[in-house]
Structure 1
């Protein structure tokens, strides 16, 4: 029996009339969390968002959201995040951690269940995955066991299990998108013939928003699915048609296993390789869903796959996709749906013995006559190569030598985002198979300032990925050297600022 008494229970599909309590979105920086928080706000529900990096959440620009730092592997941070929470969404998984993600998932779930019980949480809502009969892949088994661990605590758990989620940023959707846009012919294992009931992101979010207010959803596992079962081959065909592309020719090969096919994913998709590999290895069989219960408890109009894809592309074109500061943002992909949602990245950082003001002055002086602070010869070679293929690589100059504003050109770069003394984002303007940005970020650390430079690259298929990997050797040291050079210049500015004060002090000292 949950905390609601029989007298307080509501009819299936209805919600409690009392005002909703605080809901914690644990794992708010992930794909579902990033999309769920705005939906909760739209419903008038107070939200606390938790992630290991609060700066990632702050960059979302959510108004009225309490942002907290929490790590599922650090119990003391979980307890603080859960304080005063009525309902907690558990949206954490560790597939990106590599081979050991199964053990990490279970440890994190145990920590969360214990902290939720100690904090008086009324309900945990966990988003798991559909579990086919005889499932043995670590990705699927880990999701199932995570739910079991959460249920082993004393807090009632609503586990919603979903298969392929259709929306920008969904790992399975993005793998299919990358395949459709960049491989006209696919030699695949027979998993492309396996069937699954994909669900639209909007439909899944609606279930997540409504579930905590449904008493009958407590202590239950609910399968969530769209209205049709489709093979992965059919999904890719429909996706191609909605994108205005010719559907790829798919040739299933019985000897090519999902594990074998997962090894070449690094050259096909920008989805993080551990995540993509875990998904592919779990596609060996049909996924069934018993969705009758969830549809009865929370009725809604369900989108079919074609309508779901159409809505996903439409959301991107309207720029309504909730994304990381750079990851997935349509503008940073040059408004190209065929450029990968997930970005490859490389960067470096250095600590400057200077105030953010001095560091910011140096950052704003990038390009033009000042060039790029470090290994300018390499930058020159890249610019000449771009010019040789008709690009703007040799377009040197800037509007002002010391100031920048959004829309300014810095050589072949364009300023697309800026937060004074905090962040500067430049869009890559040279010719290449993909789109990218270079972002500088300043973080105060006591009397010092950390300057970070990160390149984000959204590749266009195989050639875009090969282009990125060819630059990896240079990336290993160029951004570290650039940030060190910026730090040194900022320290010189800071010292010059202090010098007049020191001379004045010397002049006003009494003569002994």
Structure 2
């Protein structure tokens, strides 16, 4: 059902574009970085929005959820996609695997063809796709070639299509921005590959969103790709040095060398930044080429704002402001890690006994339930996990080395969580205010794992912290893994119980002291 409550103000785009006029816009990839930001922009422009997600329940904490129609559909399911596109005026195709493997490219092609056929069958008014900017006539990486192919597949359909081609997108939480930010902040001096001298035309995320929304109003005879970029053409070295200046950092010293391949560079990025090498490699491979807009024809249909497009320094300043204010609405980690488990915790009793290992602990906490909840909801990221930091750090390093996310993803918000948020190597699977936080592991494991954190009350009204670690092993390797880590549970999970209790009780005492001081005053 649609909610007729007025849409909230757009989060990242300060300029109105067009008028949706109640037209129906379908958005795929709503759990991703761009899709999650596009929805409120479309609502603010007057569109009705249908959000398509493989797991609709993962969207329920989004601030815009009551204003959209949510449809559960897998993009590879032709019947489901066709049903989702019924009655749609403009469809946004924001599906793309962040990988450079041939298998992902084949999947991208199949999914794009499925979508194009369904859009044709349902007589969708326009398809809009956000792809990558690439040079003509050069050999492209598997990742960039896949993005090019997807755009061509959509353009080859009878449905009028707009393909927007962007290079580096600058915005709080984007993978490109986070990679640049952490490289610059953590390395005052660095050896970099020669591609840091290639020219790039970055674009602010708010201008990307503006073009996406404005593309819905293009005339029916417009069926083409457009290069989109900001006003500045810079080298990656210029961007790092410019970031350092905006962030108030000392001058960065960079020595370009010729021996670092994209593969080696992506491993280095994976070590230094939160962005894992599997995501870093496609980003690095796209920078091997110079990616500068060859035209600005988009302005004929979506005019530039009166004050112009956002420049590099302004975009960096705005992104840092969002980060400092903890107002990052989506991050690169909003989308799940390729290959990570996505199965929710089953309630099937057949999982009992030997098929599901459980480490369960309960502690009485001398603090009000809401205080304990705030401690639990703030877990992970910079605050850590309240137990043996060295063990968590070592496990994170092992996970990164084996292709997992490790601990460096951090959190989108330092205090508040939503279902679907990434928290280090966990994903928020369930959240019930003041009561339950369930995290599903996305680390590399021979099985499936969850961490269940609950706030409860005993019969006499005391606050209880109940903690369960659950593990469903896969084969003998899973059984051996549980047996190997069990001796450390008292240190890790027992320590978490004790330290969370201390943190909640200390917070309660601080609140009581503050309340007492207020009364005295």
Aligning the two structures, in what range does the TM-score lie when normalised by the shorter sequence? 0.5 to 0.7
> CA contact under 8 A between 1:373 and 1:482: conserved in structure 2?
yes
* Aligned equivalent of 1:482, options 443, 454, 469: 469
Q: CA RMSD in A?
A: 3.9
Closer/same/farther in 2, CA of residues 208 and 261 from structure 1, 3 Å limit: same
Closer/same/farther in 2, CA of residues 15 and 200 from structure 1, 3 Å limit: closer
Query: TM-score, structure 1 length as denominator?
Result: 0.67
Q: Distance in 2 between matches of 1:230 and 1:286?
A: 10
Q: Distance in 2 between matches of 1:343 and 1:314?
A: 30
* Aligned equivalent of 1:454, options 440, 459, 478: 440
Q: Distance in 2 between matches of 1:166 and 1:160?
A: 16
Question: Cα distance, 1:431 vs. partner?
Answer: 8.2
Question: Cα distance, 1:321 vs. partner?
Answer: 2.4
Q: Distance in 2 between matches of 1:452 and 1:397?
A: 20
Closer/same/farther in 2, CA of residues 241 and 112 from structure 1, 3 Å limit: same
Question: Cα distance, 1:147 vs. partner?
Answer: 0.9
State which drifts further: 297-306 or 210-219: 210-219
Question: Cα distance, 1:190 vs. partner?
Answer: 0.4
Closer/same/farther in 2, CA of residues 252 and 16 from structure 1, 3 Å limit: closer
Q: Distance in 2 between matches of 1:344 and 1:243?
A: 35
Question: Cα distance, 1:268 vs. partner?
Answer: 2.0
Question: Cα distance, 1:408 vs. partner?
Answer: 2.0
Would you say 1:211 and 2:215 are equivalent positions?
Answer: yes
Q: Distance in 2 between matches of 1:428 and 1:100?
A: 36
Larger Rg: 1
Instruction: Give 3-state SS (helix, strand or coil) of 2:365's partner.
Output: coil
* Aligned equivalent of 1:130, options 121, 129, 133: 133
Closer/same/farther in 2, CA of residues 342 and 171 from structure 1, 3 Å limit: farther
Question: Cα distance, 1:140 vs. partner?
Answer: 1.5
1:17-416 superposed matches below 5 A: 19-62=21-64, 63-96=66-99, 98-133=101-136, 134-215=138-219, 218-298=222-302, 299-300=304-305, 301-323=308-330, 327=333, 350-352=345-347, 374=359, 398-399=365-366, 404-405=369-370, 407-408=371-372, 414-416=375-377
Q: Distance in 2 between matches of 1:96 and 1:206?
A: 27
Q: Distance in 2 between matches of 1:294 and 1:283?
A: 23
Closer/same/farther in 2, CA of residues 439 and 415 from structure 1, 3 Å limit: farther
Q: Distance in 2 between matches of 1:240 and 1:205?
A: 26
Q: Distance in 2 between matches of 1:398 and 1:184?
A: 45
Structure 1 unaligned segments of length 5 or more: list them.
1-13, 330-340, 355-371, 380-395, 419-425, 444-449, 457-468, 486-512
> CA contact under 8 A between 2:101 and 2:142: conserved in structure 1?
no
Question: Cα distance, 1:43 vs. partner?
Answer: 1.3
How far does the alpha carbon of each residue in 1:366-395 deviate from its partner, in whole angstroms, 9 at most, with x for none?
xxxxxx97287xx9xxxxxxxxxxxxxxxx
Aligned match of 2:400: none
How far does the alpha carbon of each residue in 1:438-494 deviate from its partner, in whole angstroms, 9 at most, with x for none?
777459xxxxxx9953368xxxxxxxxxxxx9xx78998785982369xxxxxxxxx
Closer/same/farther in 2, CA of residues 136 and 28 from structure 1, 3 Å limit: same
1:8-23 superposed matches below 5 A: 19-23=21-25
> CA contact under 8 A between 1:452 and 1:483: conserved in structure 2?
no
Question: Cα distance, 1:88 vs. partner?
Answer: 0.2
State which drifts further: 38-47 or 309-318: 309-318
How far does the alpha carbon of each residue in 1:114-164 deviate from its partner, in whole angstroms, 9 at most, with x for none?
000111101001111112131421121111111111112110101111111
Structure 2 unaligned segments of length 5 or more: list them.
1-15, 350-356, 394-407, 412-422, 453-467, 473-521
Question: Cα distance, 1:233 vs. partner?
Answer: 0.7
Closer/same/farther in 2, CA of residues 342 and 15 from structure 1, 3 Å limit: closer
